Structure 1
């Protein structure tokens, strides 16, 4: 499969390495040097690929999606911090009969963690004496806070527990991505936690999303792919 990479930082380089190891080809790389490209010029560059993976910056998401749609190439959108534009981007994709997968986090482990937190939240919804909290820690280079993963966890918990709770964010040094959900009661505290050892998990999830979206049309969240796998449909 021919993959176009938008964003060639640490994440882009990890995707490149693992995609090649799985027999795929990186047919084009869009880096910071291409920031000034028009949508038409970017679309022309992307048109030689079968799938686009975007791990760039939130401000560029709309342009990158428009260029991918113009090139009629499915896009895996891994950039964070753009979800305020989600409805507009979804409308663009549907109207163009395009293909897009997005996710707050492309790690398979994190997406299974979502399901664990969903189940735990349903249990604790019956016990209002427990307070809920989310803590997330990342390296100092991460731009958005709270993280997209923390906001996704918040949404999952609030679907069962309808009350306010805090998200605490830390940005320091080279801390790997760590997310903890806690249920704090008078007699005890239950904590659920996920920590990333490397970027490989995110990269492999993005490649999995490429393989899945390549032959599909529509607007999807990565969690839907995980759900298909869990149901034995993939």
Structure 2
């Protein structure tokens, strides 16, 4: 029986995973944000941590950032990241630390068997390494061209940022809401390895510098509805 700290801001998914792991006789302490995750690990000293990447307040990479920090504070702490996408800002750091305890990174949409998921949790807790092949592929791709992780719309937003446009100006150019622009920019920061511990202005400059580096098939910004 394992003692697990589980972090996910989606209530239904979190409670579903608690019930699922309980079926396999594991004890789960569930939390909904990165701050609560750190506190629970300090209090519970779990056998393994299972965490999502995106959590409040910015919904970028707080969960993965917390996992990396926890591995530094608690050497050997097994961590399994369970997410919908690959956050490269901290994923490489986490996966490079396999010599100090179990590590895993699984994509939610690619888990097709409950028993295999639970087996993955148990293997990580035992010091093993469980990584979805798609995670490896995306990390290798990112080493060659950081812009390949962006969606077409995110590349358009970044192109307008490179032109010096404000969020309001991008909203007008692409006829989308400022809230949607903000979400795209947060996603761009995450995918270009610009973690949340930097200021937004600093990350914006670094994102533009990344865009201006030579890359193949870099599109001009298109104007139109989302």
Give TM-score, length-normalised by structure 2: 0.45
User: Counting helix residues as a fraction of each chain, which structure ranks higher?
Assistant: 2
Relative contact order, higher structure (CA 8 A, sep 6+): 1
Query: Would you tell me which structure has more strand in proportion to its own residues?
Result: 1
